Chain A
Amino acid sequence: MRLAEEMKKRLFDPTRLRAIFAIVVFVVLWELGSRSKDWFGYAAPWISVIPAPDAVIVVWWGLLGDAGYWQSGYLSLLRVLSGFGAALLIGVPLGLLMALSRNFYGIVFPTFEVLRPIPPLAWVPAAIIFWPTQELSIAFITFLGAFYTIVINTVDGAKSIDPRYFEAARAMGSSGWDVFRRIILPGTLPSITLGAAVGMGIVWEVVVAAEMISGGGSSMGGAGASGAGGGLGFFIWNSYTGGSYEQIVVGMLSIGIAGYLSSGGLRMLGEWITPWLRVR
């Protein structure tokens, strides 16, 4: 009984209703635009060449039973997670070291700043030459997508900790590892989670483009009818060359949903490890 009430409250929460309303309006406008030639005899510019949502849904429904479609999503997710994980594992300690040691900062920062403006996609040719497998090249490009953001946020976060916290800690007899564990780490955590959330968004952008450019990775053998073996980026590219415009849109929306879910999950994880920011 309580659960039903709670569900009702959540379902009819004004924020949620607004979100649902916005999506419905978007889909309706899209449908009207796509069908404008058939329905009104006037082809709306740009949008009338895009497949209508109902056609997309029909194709999507068909693809739900297709192992190749799921395989593509799985491959992209795997690349995102490995690239992002590596960026987190290397980026956070590097950022902390840069924030804590003036010497280390002086040595690393100039190189870092020269490399940072290079877009991950500019690394594609170099990565293909450098890494032994295509899989590693794509993971490397993905890694670069999140790496700089995570490092910069970690450095800024650690450096902006109120110096009085260190003075208070030092006066109470705290030093070294204790200060790191109880002041620096929790003090930097909000910036790390922020950097990670932003990085996660970039990672999805980058992985798809890397898959398209590099031909989708060779490890899975030849691409099937729906582009199996190449990830979602290659799935889209394959649909384009195969002339299935509905599939292109399915691929795009799949990426959108995957990105939304992973960023949302990351945000929840971030809130869970920084409980003091949740309460007001």
Chain B
Amino acid sequence: MAEFTPATLKHPPQGEIRVDNVSHSYGVGKFAKEVVKDCGFTIEAGKLTVMIGPSGCGKSTLIRLIAGFEKPSKGSISIDGKPITGPGKDRLVVFQETALFPWMSAYNNTLYGPRARGEDTPEIHREAQSLVERVGLTAFRNKYPTQLSGGMQRRVELARAMINNPKVMILDEPFRGLDAMTKALMQEYYSALHEEFHQTAFFVTTDIDEAIFMADRLIIVSNIPTRVCAVVEVDVPRPRRLVDIYENDRANQIKMSALSMLHEEAMKSFVGGSKAASDFVDAYSKRTGKT
């Protein structure tokens, strides 16, 4: 049986993404709204980079730019030194709400990419089977997405992306909307997957606990227009477990400094009238006793 091994295991880690002085606006002339402003950071190959910022701040726009669905108004984005000009199978996005094709079984969803490129071979079927097994869905491979739970759908989506051996996995708030238990399981699951394969990953979230648990490197971004506020190396040893991270001093220290930065940013959008930001400010004051 062909074991599934991502390209990153066959080669040294690949997929270093450089975001260089990128600005992006929607609309033209005086109606133009700047969503991303002078953003610059690097997603290191083989590392799990997490971006966190107030909700509605333009993180999804950054993802669309890196994925190549849109071109930045200013600046440039490159992967392994080559400029990004459009979408490609070297950077695959796992979307916020599931984007599985409802008319295909879990297994056929997984095989979508290879089939699109005419690689419907026995080898790829063996690989798909081992991948479906790897995400624990062998018994559910012939089910349609609507027959699967939220957590299962996310795992099918991971499999559908991973079979293409992308250099970079881009995950846009992938666990949003899952119940607390499933969310915790998925976080540990993806973290373990990363510890095993060291596939370059860019993970966007609004959840600080999730961010610190997952991240090798944490990028904190501002309220709209998105700028990089701080880059924090999360030097908490791996493998990590959720139960341990709550008691890890270094993790808590990073969390507190990140929170106060995020609080400042959330206040700005709160003043600007954002409901999401106001929720964040409430939650933050309860947690720290500050306002």
Report which A residues bind B (CB closer than 8 A).
Answer: 162, 164-165, 167-175, 178, 182-183, 186-187, 189, 274-276, 279-280
Contacts and interface: CB of A to CB of B under 8 A. Distances in A.
Contacts of A279: 143-144, 146-147
A164 B99 contact: yes
B92 A276 contact: no
Contact of B113 (A164, A173, A175): A173
B89 A164 contact: no
B92 A164 contact: no
Nearest to B102: A276
Nearest to B144: A276
B116 A173 contact: yes
Contact of A171 (B88, B104, B115, B117): B88
B197 interface: no
Contact of B147 (A169, A175, A280): A280
B31 interface: no
B146 A276 contact: yes
Given A172-B116, A173-B116, A167 B93 contact: yes
Contacts of A178: 115-116
20 contacts: A165-B99, A167-B69, A167-B99, A169-B112, A171-B67, A171-B88, A171-B89, A171-B92, A172-B89, A173-B113, A174-B113, A178-B116, A182-B115, A186-B101, A186-B103, A275-B144, A276-B103, A276-B104, A276-B146, A279-B144
Interface of B: 67-69, 87-89, 91-93, 95, 99, 101-104, 112-113, 115-117, 143-147, 160, 164
Contact of A169 (B116, B144, B146): B116
Contacts of A174: 112-113, 116
A279 B68 CA distance: 35
Nearest to A172: B113
Contacts of A168: 93, 95, 99
A162 B99 contact: yes
B138 to A, nearest CB: 19
Question: Which of A162, A169, A171, A178 has its CB near the most chain B CB atoms (within 10 A)?
Answer: A171
A277 to B, nearest CB: 8
A279 B146 CA distance: 8
A201 B144 CA distance: 31
A187 B89 CA distance: 23
Nearest to A185: B103
A216 to B, nearest CB: 44
Question: Which of A172, A186, A274, A280 has its CB near the most chain B CB atoms (within 10 A)?
Answer: A172
A172 B112 contact: yes
Contacts of A162: 99
Nearest to A167: B69
A276 B115 CA distance: 20
A171 B91 contact: yes
A187 B103 CA distance: 8
Contacts of B91: 171
A206 B82 CA distance: 63
Contact of B92 (A172, A183, A274, A275): A172
Given A172-B116, A173-B88, 7 more contacts: A167-B99, A168-B99, A172-B89, A173-B164, A174-B113, A175-B116, A280-B147
Nearest to B99: A164
A264 to B, nearest CB: 24
A168 B89 CA distance: 10
A170 B88 CA distance: 8
A173 B117 contact: yes
B194 to A, nearest CB: 20
Contacts of A173: 88-89, 113, 116-117, 164
Nearest to B88: A171
B89 A183 contact: no
A175 B89 CA distance: 13
A187 B101 CA distance: 9
Contacts of A187: 103
Contacts of A183: 101
B234 to A, nearest CB: 28
A167 B103 contact: no
A167 B92 CA distance: 10
Contacts of A280: 146-147
Contacts of B92: 171-172
Nearest to B105: A276
Contacts of A189: 103
